[in-house]
Structure 1
Amino acid sequence: MTTTRGLRIALQLQPQHAEYARIRETVARAEELGVDVLFTWDHFFPLDGDPAGRHFECWTMLAAWAEATSRMELGPLVSCTGYRNPDLLADMARTVDHVSGGRVILGLGSGWYDRDFTEYGYELTTPAERLDDLTRALPRIEARLAALNPPPVRRMPVLIGGGGERRTLRLVARHADIWHSFGDPDTLRQKADVLRRHCAAVGRDPAEIEISGSVGGGPSPAGEPDDLGPKLRDLGVTLFTLGVDGPDYDLTLLRRWLAWRDAQ
């Protein structure tokens, strides 16, 4: 996928095991360092380490980040459509968009962590059924965003994460402005080819969809910028997304990615 977009660095700040004061300090430091996009995740419990460890909710924290920052785009990577009524989720995103002055990226997904569903009282359905819910939610979210008064500050970019070739990438082709991908360059090449076919089927130019690639942290493949960066860039990735975990939030690798971005 060819693109004329500039390269951007995103940080997914994972809100587990940390005091909120440390999270707030890391948010400020990320903006000072020049991060382009700040993400969190939409879970209710830590994904690793102490299962009873500290943790904070996605959207209330995003509202606080919207007030505490002035330049970075921000959003969930990704918000599960099974946790909130889709119309309510659209309204929440619109509200945070206004708090931020028009900087929200609306990341959406179907959810996967069983504990989030069971302990918060949501029905634990199958992965296919959760994709059904996401498929139904996307038009509702789009319609609610169009009906709200006031509307979002800008046309809010929608991000969809995942690589399911039959269904998820078809949703990306129909609805997304950004596709968040996982896996190594060979996997990304295969998935991007599938996405191009889905775009052709719905009459959409795949160049309209920005590609976000995971470059370290959590379940994503880690790699030094000079090794992984050019490979992903040549495959069309322009948003390089790095995860960082609490409680200490070591930003050493983030600094290397920012320096690599600036050298291009």
Structure 2
Amino acid sequence: MTTANRPIRIGVQIQPQHADYASIRRTASEAEDLGVDIVFNWDHFYPLYGEPEGQHFECWTMLGAWAESTSRVEIGALVTCNSYRNPELLADMARTVDHISGGRLILGIGSGWFEKDYDGYGYEFGTAGGRLDDLAESLPRIESRLAKLNPAPTRKIPVLIGGGGEKKTLRLVAKHADIWHGFGDPEVVERKVGILDSHCREIDRDPAEIERSCGVQGEPGELGPKLLELGVSTFTVGIGGPDYDLSAVKAWTEWRDKQ
């Protein structure tokens, strides 16, 4: 159980699809005013649902803008695709957004999966296993570059790794991550948490060092306590354009405030 010493945090993933940027920026500000703890976007080049060729914006350019247009919330990608940028460059981008934001960046990262992105932008898609191997190679390079940059980051930038792969992804979480982000109902999350804990024990790391985060849909009063029992302390609601609806986010922040 890792929530004992961690505050409950609410995140919102503002999916940067089917909307103009003014609407995205306004929604980020409204989410901050509502009291969310983290505002995420995602790292894709095309919409994931709805019109496949619909409006869409790039992830990291947007994070740089959010670093200036928000003042309190943490910001990050849920998650950056490791395949799209050289690891040293990504570390430098993260350090720069960390400084612009005054130390509010979370470096969310994953191995990538959306084939249309790869094909459209000229990246080699390869295999799921190969992409995970690339992520395993990139994470130490990111850590090494962050340690060399001048000026250094304002803080130890938290690394969030997204995904539930039991043999490779959760092993990378145990070795490199400050936050694990997963999906699924409580039964699925319970299984993943158990496997993550065992990977931590194998490398002699305290599992409680890793914050547990989960994407949520549904009633906070019903789902929240079940996930809290499993050590989840961060709950993230995804919302899509063009008309971003923050009502579910508001319900989760109200639930958090009652705990």
Could you list the runs of 5+ residues in structure 1 that have no partner in the other structure?
A: 216-221
Which protein has greater RCO, CA pairs closer than 8 Å, 6+ apart? 2
8 A contact 2:2–2:232 mirrored in 1: no
Moved beyond 4 Å, runs of 4+: none
Q: Where does residue 45 of structure 1 map in the other structure? A: 46
Distance in 1, Cα, partners of 2:51 & 2:189: 32
Letter in 1 for 2:188: T
Distance in 1, Cα, partners of 2:91 & 2:66: 18
Letter in 2 for 1:247: P
Q: Where does residue 250 of structure 1 map in the other structure? A: 245
Distance in 2, Cα, partners of 1:53 & 1:262: 37
Residues 85-119 of structure 1: CA deviation (Å, up to 9, x unaligned): 00000000100110000000000100000011011
Distance in 2, Cα, partners of 1:69 & 1:223: 27
Q: Where does residue 185 of structure 2 map in the other structure? A: 184
Q: Where does residue 95 of structure 2 map in the other structure? A: 94
Q: Aligned-pair distance for 1:125?
A: 0.6
% same residue: 64
Q: Where does residue 131 of structure 1 map in the other structure? A: 132
Give the paired residue count: 258
8 A contact 2:113–2:128 mirrored in 1: yes
Q: Where does residue 219 of structure 1 map in the other structure? A: none
Could you list the runs of 5+ residues in structure 2 that have no partner in the other structure?
A: none
Q: Where does residue 18 of structure 1 map in the other structure? A: 19
Q: TM-score, with normalisation over the residues of structure 1? A: 0.97
Q: Aligned-pair distance for 1:223?
A: 1.1
Q: Aligned-pair distance for 1:152?
A: 0.8
Taking the TM superposition and a 5 Å limit, the aligned residue runs for 1:56-205 are 56-205=57-206
Q: Where does residue 5 of structure 1 map in the other structure? A: 6
Distance in 2, Cα, partners of 1:195 & 1:20: 37
Q: Aligned-pair distance for 1:164?
A: 0.6
Letter in 2 for 1:65: W
Letter in 1 for 2:80: S
Q: Aligned-pair distance for 1:2?
A: 3.2
Distance in 1, Cα, partners of 2:178 & 2:143: 13
Q: Aligned-pair distance for 1:52?
A: 1.2
Say what the alpha-carbon RMSD is for the aligned residues: 0.6
Distance in 2, Cα, partners of 1:214 & 1:76: 13
> Does the alignment pair 1:238 with 2:233?
yes
